[in-house]
């Protein structure tokens, strides 16, 4: 497994729309292994392939809290079939927008279908943090980052903050 660099805003690649995966192969699994390693190293709870520059509909996630056993989930070609009318606010962050947290409202429950690590079809209802996280990651597949939901002023401030931190990292 390889840790890959995570792209940050305003990198235009993050705006790309990702493509469906034809079939879950060893190559797809290698990508998912690298993504998981990269996500753990960050550390984060979810990662979409485009965040490491691969425009494919692939997501990895682990919502386990500190001290809990891993709850690794892999999603290939995820699709939302139904969503609840009720929304849940959550203080979201993103590995592509480091150190920025903003409250975003999303449907609190979604019915989801996807292919897993072995290419098996899974259909399930996600709630709470799981629902929030999968919707956040699926936005990445459409080229949407959570700060796109903020006012222009807040979004520009977030991008500036990230760009400045990246520059400092490059210097230091």
Residues that bind Zn ion (CB under 5 A): 94
User: Closer to Zn ion at the Cβ: 35 or 94?
Assistant: 94
Q: Which residue is nearest to Zn ion (CB)?
A: 94
Does 82 qualify as catalytic in the annotation?
no
SS3 101: strand
User: Closer to Zn ion at the Cβ: 24 or 50?
Assistant: 50
- Among candidate residues 82, 137, 156, 166, the one labeled active-site is 137
Distance of alpha carbon 20 from alpha carbon 18, whole angstroms: 7
User: Closer to Zn ion at the Cβ: 114 or 146?
Assistant: 146
- The DSSP bridge pattern shows strands 46-48 and 121-127 to be unpaired
Q: Shortest Cβ distance from residue 171 to Zn ion (Å)?
A: 26
State the burial class of residue 39 (Cβ atoms within 10 Å of its Cβ: 0-12, 13-18, 19+). buried
DSSP string, 124-144: EEEEHHHHHHHHHHHHHHTT-
Q: Shortest Cβ distance from residue 46 to Zn ion (Å)?
A: 7
Q: Shortest Cβ distance from residue 36 to Zn ion (Å)?
A: 15
Peptide bond into 85 cis (omega under 30): no
* Residues recognised as catalytic: 137
């Amino acid at each position: 497994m390889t840790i890959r660099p995570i792209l940050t805003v305003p990198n235009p690649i993050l705006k790309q729309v990702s493509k469906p995966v034809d079939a879950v192969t060893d190559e797809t699994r290698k990508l998912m292994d690298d993504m998981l390693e990269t996500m753990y190293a960050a550390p984060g709870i979810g990662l979409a392939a485009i965040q490491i520059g691969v425009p494919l509909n692939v997501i990895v996630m682990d919502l386990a809290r500190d001290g809990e056993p891993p709850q690794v989930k892999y999603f290939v070609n995820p699709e939302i079939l139904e969503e609840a009318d009720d929304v849940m606010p959550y203080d979201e962050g993103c590995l592509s927008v480091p150190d920025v947290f903003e409250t975003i409202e999303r449907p609190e429950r979604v019915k989801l279908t996807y292919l897993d690590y072995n290419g098996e079809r899974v259909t399930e209802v996600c709630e709470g943090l799981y629902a929030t996280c999968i919707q956040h990651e699926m936005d990445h597949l459409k080229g949407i980052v959570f700060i796109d939901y903020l006012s222009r002023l807040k979004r520009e401030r977030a991008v500036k903050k990230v760009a400045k931190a990246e520059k400092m990292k490059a210097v230091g």
